[in-house]
Structure 1
Amino acid sequence: MKKLKAIVFDVDGTIADTEKNGHRVAFNLAFEELKLDWYWSVAEYGILLSTTGGRERLLRYIKESHPNFKPTKKSLNDFIIKTHKIKTKFYLQLLKMGNIKLRPGIARLIKEARDKNIILAIATTTTYANVELLLKTNLGSDSINLFAVIGAGDIVQNKKPAPDIYQYVLDKLKLNSDDCIAIEDSYQGLCSATNADIRTIITDNSYTQKQDFSKSILHCNHLGENENPCTIHNNGNNLKKIIDIDLMQSLL
């Protein structure tokens, strides 16, 4: 039987529900600071999430909702970079407040993987600083070191659903794709991982629960805890209600 050697986590929406009450709120605060009358509702942000990457998402919004918008002193690209930096400032403040918690089963699975000498890695479009503070706030000051590789932000040219970030992680780990399982929350993330030939578990959320996850090896609402079992949406007839290492091993 093939042995599970590594778990590769997405971050936003997977490790924590960062989108609705994190990134969305931070973007709205950035718009307010820049004296723009723009506001992303929960529903509108859900539509924008089909575009991966904060800067890319903002560019799409401007093209679709404000096609005649022209920054007063900067190019559109410079404006987007500036706005995203302001948004990141507010997002980090939200993280420091401790209001963005890990999803069920994340801390448990990380501990179990470490106890069983399984490598942990991250493949995400968010910035390294965002990842580091999210982990530090929830798992302790040295928690970034639990992960052997952090593939984050603009470290690769093409963002999800392209496989680049997962291929980067595989190259850094010096592992084959069939040594690993990815954990994602969205169709774009699933495509990114499976296009790198990595088997993928989906833990959906309110934004992604109706997306097509037919290519996943398992689709559930979260990883599960003893007191908060998960609901498995596919391949679940005889499976436990907690996603643990033994179960993941059986999916290889």
Structure 2
Amino acid sequence: MADLQALLFDVDGTLADTERDGHRVAFNMAFDEAGLDWFWDESLYGELLAVTGGKERIRFYLEKFNTTFAKPENFDAFVKGLHEAKTKFYTQLMAEGKIPLRTGVEALINEARAQGMRMAVVTTTTPANVTALLESTLGPDSESWFEVIAAGDIVPAKKPAPDIYIWALEQMGLTADQAIAFEDSLNGILSSSAANVKTIVTINEYTKEDDFSKAAVVLNHMGDDETPFELIAGEVYGRNKLDLALVKEIFAKA
């Protein structure tokens, strides 16, 4: 078996609870700015998360939940403009420090960096959103800690397609059996597993009922000294926080 060479991190829901308190809020701010009476509450947004990608989520909303909306003539430009406004507001929320990293995330990233472990971001969110989150939580130079930022429309088919993982691995010159992924959702685990990448899942309120049978381990969060994680599925060998040693052991034995 190959040695572990890289950690591949999803962003939304994995590094931070960005969906409920970040993206959802920013979407509503964009709708208000555009003079639309749309409002995505927490329950509705949970249903919209069935689709990955912000522009795709707007289209899904209009196809399934707001079917009477009269689409403007240049619909593609309309959707793009709404999404750009949403990204602006999301970046603003991040700059204000409204969204902290999830338990244990910063410690694992710092440990991996200190030990020279290669890291990448593999996400469907936009590059601007990735930058906003990393800079607001880990510092202004933190984006450079990640060898590859695979984000947004860099590949045509978004998660649950495996394309974004395949692309990231190619950029790093790695094979699937040399990396481990961190995900939080069904679309995420479908993407990583289809790319044959072993995956650790940390659930959140939106994804706790998802099918994670393809994951190596499923936890409620990564855990730290003060707040140990809860094991939902898999084996953690008597540990209660996800440090690099445990990640390597999960990788080796999965």
TM-score interval for Structure 1 and Structure 2 normalised by the shorter chain: over 0.9
Counterpart Cα distance in 2 of 1:248 and 1:238 = 11
- Which residue matches 2:220? 221
Q: Which runs of 5+ in 1 are unaligned?
A: none
SS of equivalent to 2:144 = helix
- Which residue matches 1:86? 85
TM-score norm. by structure 1 comes to: 0.97
Counterpart Cα distance in 1 of 2:112 and 2:85 = 36
TM-score norm. by structure 2 comes to: 0.96
1:114 is displaced (CA, Å) by: 1.3
One-letter amino acid of the structure 2 residue matched with residue 150 of structure 1: I
1:34 is displaced (CA, Å) by: 1.2
SS of equivalent to 2:233 = coil
- Spell out, residue by residue over 1:160-219, the C-alpha distance to the aligned partner (whole angstroms, 9 max, x if none): 000000001100000111110000000100010010000000000000011100110000
- Which residue matches 2:96? 97
1:33 is displaced (CA, Å) by: 1.1
1:26 is displaced (CA, Å) by: 0.7
Counterpart Cα distance in 2 of 1:58 and 1:19 = 14
Q: Higher mean Cα deviation, 191-200 or 241-250?
A: 241-250
Q: Higher mean Cα deviation, 187-196 or 60-69?
A: 60-69
The answer to whether the 8 Å contact 1:70/1:76 transfers is no
Counterpart Cα distance in 1 of 2:189 and 2:71 = 36
- In the comparison of the two structures, how many residue pairs are matched? 251
Q: Higher mean Cα deviation, 200-209 or 63-72?
A: 63-72
Q: Higher mean Cα deviation, 38-47 or 75-84?
A: 75-84
Counterpart Cα distance in 2 of 1:17 and 1:239 = 27
Counterpart Cα distance in 1 of 2:66 and 2:220 = 35
Matched, 1:174 2:173: yes
1:4 is displaced (CA, Å) by: 1.2
Q: Higher mean Cα deviation, 21-30 or 241-250?
A: 241-250
Matched, 1:63 2:50: no
Counterpart Cα distance in 2 of 1:171 and 1:8 = 13
The answer to whether the 8 Å contact 2:236/2:246 transfers is no
1:117 is displaced (CA, Å) by: 1.5
1:71 is displaced (CA, Å) by: 3.7
Structure-to-structure mapping, 1:106-145, within 5 angstroms: 106-145=105-144
Matched, 1:17 2:17: yes
1:246 is displaced (CA, Å) by: 1.3
The answer to whether the 8 Å contact 1:151/1:165 transfers is yes
1:237 is displaced (CA, Å) by: 6.7
- Which residue matches 2:5? 5
Matched, 1:35 2:35: yes
Identity %: 46
- Spell out, residue by residue over 1:140-179, the C-alpha distance to the aligned partner (whole angstroms, 9 max, x if none): 1100000000000000010000000000110000011111
Counterpart Cα distance in 2 of 1:192 and 1:60 = 20
1:239 is displaced (CA, Å) by: 3.2
Counterpart Cα distance in 1 of 2:241 and 2:98 = 25
One-letter amino acid of the structure 1 residue matched with residue 125 of structure 2: T
Counterpart Cα distance in 2 of 1:115 and 1:3 = 18
1:250 is displaced (CA, Å) by: 1.4
SS of equivalent to 1:12 = coil
One-letter amino acid of the structure 1 residue matched with residue 204 of structure 2: N
Q: Which runs of 5+ in 2 are unaligned?
A: none
SS of equivalent to 2:153 = coil
- Which residue matches 1:26? 26
- Spell out, residue by residue over 1:27-73, the C-alpha distance to the aligned partner (whole angstroms, 9 max, x if none): 1111111111111010100011010001101100011122232344x
Counterpart Cα distance in 1 of 2:134 and 2:38 = 30
